[in-house]
Amino acid sequence: MKKFALLLTLSGVVAATAPAFAQTPASAPAAEGTKLVSRPLPAVTIRSLDGQAVSAATIHQAAAGKPTIVSFWATWCKPCIAELTNIAEEYGDWQKESGVKLVAISIDDARNAVKVAPLVRGKGWEYAVFLDQNQDLKRALNINNVPHTFLLNGAGEIVWQHNAYQEGDEAHLRELVKQVAAGQALTE
Amino acid sequence: MKNRYSHLRPLMLVALLFSVGAATAQEAPSPLDATTIHGDFQTDVQSYKPDPLIGAPRVPEKILSNTFANLLMSSGRFSAGVRYEAYLAPLQGFDPRYRGQGIAYRFASYSADRLQVTVGNFYEQFGSGLIFRSYEERNLGIDNSLDGLRVRVTPYRGVRLTGLMGRQRFFFEKSPTIVRGFDGEISLNDLVPGFDSVATRVTIGGSFVSKYQADDDPALVVPENVGAAAGRISLTNGGFALNAEYAEKANDPGLSNGYIYRPGRTALVSATWSGRNLGLLVAAKRVDNFDFRVDRNTTGNYGSINFLPALTRQHTYALAATIYPYATQPLGEMAGQAEISYHAPKGGWGGRYGTDITVNFSAVNGIDQRPLNDLQGARQGYSSGFFKTGSVVYFRDLNVELHRRFTPTWKLNAMYVHLTYNKDVVQGLTGFGVIDADIAIVDVLHKFTPKHSLRVEAQTLQTRQDLGSWAMGLLEYTYSPHWFVTVYDQYNYGNYDTAQRIHYLGGQTGYVGGTTRIALGYGRQRAGIVCVGGVCRFVPASNGASVSITSSF
């Protein structure tokens, strides 16, 4: 009972706080609820495929001011592989039109993490790939399950996110990437 | 009694910080201006009706549900969060001890340049987890977070040290056992001057973990402190990678190993090579008496301190994944795995769009054990040579998967699997023996328009043993980006008991919008096994309706 009361208090505090946050410059574009919250990726350590520790807060820098797609996936996740394969077929065109970079973050545990590099190279994907083996970054970003995709603007702020993948979804993502690259506010 | 509300204190801290944020946001820029609050939510609700034919029991509550909600706050170098969980009451197949609700997880963390301190609950993995891994896997009902203190220090570039201490979550309580651990990792390329630009990258690491549990045994003198140590190396050069870890555990008599005092040993080695369009993997593992848990008087999924990954393919198609899945045997196994994945490029037999082929083989046997019959003396239990494989077959899996796109609107995935499954050993039963099964799967996707797609799966599992053969069909229609509907039927047509030749018919429909997914389902669920990462959970048969909602912001 006490716990419940406290949760209520907590949510009350959050609700009361929200309008104040909406006035801060950092969250000014957040006009449309959950999709447009602009925050950077947290400084959680992930691993490159050659074992180097990398802070997630820096991975957008490779796009040099252009948008970055961050896609959470796993070797055992069929829709994830479908999404990354479908984008891979058009990736060259996407990069030409918007300069976008795709970063694929695998949440595979010790059982499958060693299979990530052979799979990625075997499929000929040209993405930057990282491992989040104990799901620290997945947890910090409140991801329920994979696939889960984030779109970051050139400054590395999250401007859009989406859970799940259905055949054809990539066409919509491509339009959003173009809007972000052109500095437009997202219409969705 | 005195600790009854102590777990709420960090929550008050979070609330306090939120109010500070509210107060300062209107004024001059403060560090809390960059504060963000984010969260996620998941609920699974299922109704149950008795179905004696499939063995679905009467559930007195009729409706059961599992709910999780995380709320995280981050502000510059500071972050904090809580997770509320409610099991009203736990879904069938989850441990009934979850019944109830409350704050199951809360933490506060501060990061400086070379230091990170976390208090409260945390998750951590040392190396590949052989001696320590705390993690959450909701679908299995596993959450072995530690509640205590973790400190990470980076004294030099390329050197990472982690120390931790805590007590494991045990449903809505805490285990009395105290777990302490230390891990050190060095990236030689970063640390050694001039080694930075070398193509070969070498990382070495070592860890030590110990647990304290009071001696509660009426008959034996059992060790109250049990230590385990591990060393590892990772070596990469271009497309080549070698990973190896070796671990030993001091004598740790417990219920699972029959209270023997034999030390434990485990080794895990893998090598991969990948070049353009080709990937190769070989891996081997030996496990000997390596069940490491907070309570020596328990067995099962709850209370594990370490994680022993299964060296087998993780299947995803229903008949291959849930009828005969393998789970690591912590008391002893010898395992090997090899995999080749090849992308045949466009043109030639790769077709117009390229073709992917994966061939995977894994084999697991027991370890060779020579009984010592010394239970009245030293209680070492058995002897076993490190490289000696036992004669008992636990598992074999040979599978071939092919993926090909024929036209922009037609795609095919096809798979063949041959399984050999020691049901007695893997599921802890007697009288079922070793089962051989062949599985064939065809999965075709057709896009009618860029947004409308239909996927059809046809699967069969052929065996003359156990429950006999199965067939399965599945239709999934998706309307991107929001809608999906799927219907499926699993039919146990080859059951020797003709009354058990049952159709398990079901369906699901739902909506995806942004980060929210809502799914409604109805139908029969076969009794089966759900596995993630080589850890498995038995799910009993059920019949009823379900609602699942996930969301995050």
Residues B301, A23: Cα–Cα separation, whole Å: 48
For residue B204, give the amino acid letter: I
pLDDT at B495 over 80: yes
A18: helix, strand or coil? helix
Residues B442, B436: Cα–Cα separation, whole Å: 21
Q: What digits encode the pLDDT tens for the residues B50-78?
A: 999 999 999 999 999 999 999 999 988 89
pLDDT at B532: 65
pLDDT at B413: 96
Q: What digits encode the pLDDT tens for the residues B507-527?
A: 999 999 999 999 999 999 998
Contact flag B38-A39 (C-beta cutoff 8 Å): yes
Q: What digits encode the pLDDT tens for the residues A10-68?
A: 343 333 333 333 333 333 333 333 344 478 999 999 999 988 899 999 999 999 999 99
For residue A142, give the amino acid letter: N
Query: How would residue B301 be classed by pLDDT, with cut points 50, 70 and 90?
Result: confident
pLDDT at A187: 65
Question: What average pLDDT does range B228-245 have in this prediction?
Answer: 96
Ranked by mean pLDDT, the top range of B217-221, B419-423, B530-534 is: B419-423
Best of A167, A176, A186, A187 to disrupt the B interface by mutation (most B CBs within 10 Å)?
Answer: A167
- State the average pLDDT for chain A: 82
Question: What average pLDDT does range B369-374 have in this prediction?
Answer: 94
Query: How would residue B534 be classed by pLDDT, with cut points 50, 70 and 90?
Result: low
What are the C-alpha distances in Å from B484 to residues A169, B175, B460, B477, B517?
Answer: 12, 43, 24, 6, 11
Please say whether the dihedral angle defined by the alpha carbons of residues B273, B279, B285 and B290, taken in this order, is positive or negative. positive
The least confident of A22-31, A49-58, B320-329, B425-434 is: A22-31
Question: What average pLDDT does range B196-208 have in this prediction?
Answer: 94
Residues B149, B165: Cα–Cα separation, whole Å: 5
Interface pTM (ipTM) of the complex?
A: 0.90
The least confident of B13-22, B140-149, B308-317 is: B13-22
Question: What average pLDDT does range B285-291 have in this prediction?
Answer: 98
Chain B: closest CA distance from residue A37 (Å): 8
B296: helix, strand or coil? coil
pLDDT at B29 over 50: no
pLDDT top residue among B166 and B345? B166
Query: How would residue A185 be classed by pLDDT, with cut points 50, 70 and 90?
Result: confident
Residues A112, A93: Cα–Cα separation, whole Å: 31
Query: How would residue B528 be classed by pLDDT, with cut points 50, 70 and 90?
Result: confident
Are the C-beta atoms of B501 and B495 separated by less than 8 Å?
Answer: yes
Which residues does chain B have within 8 Å of residue A75's beta carbon, measured at their own beta carbons? 314
Instruction: List all residues of chain A from 54 to 73 with a beta carbon under 8 Å from chain B.
Output: none
Query: How would residue B357 be classed by pLDDT, with cut points 50, 70 and 90?
Result: very high
Which residues does chain B have within 8 Å of residue A163's beta carbon, measured at their own beta carbons? 512, 514-517, 550, 552
Contact flag A162-B82 (C-beta cutoff 8 Å): no
- State the average pLDDT for chain B: 91
B240 beta partners: B237, B273
Q: Which helix (H) or strand (E) holds A19?
A: helix A2-22
Q: What is the 3-state secondary structure (H, E, C) of A113-167?
A: HHHHHHHHHHCCCCCEEEECCCCHHHHHCCCCCCCEEEEECCCCEEEEEEECCCC
Question: What average pLDDT does range B356-382 have in this prediction?
Answer: 95
Burial class (CB in 10 A: 0-12, 13-18, 19+), B60: exposed
Instruction: List all residues of chain A from 33 to 52 with a beta carbon under 8 Å from chain B.
Output: 33-35, 37, 39, 42-43, 49-52
pLDDT at B537 over 60: yes
Question: What is this structure's pTM?
Answer: 0.89
Please say whether the dihedral angle defined by the alpha carbons of residues A126, A128, A133 and A134, taken in this order, is positive or negative. negative
Residue B73: which of B1, B132, B124, B15 has the closest Cα?
Answer: B15
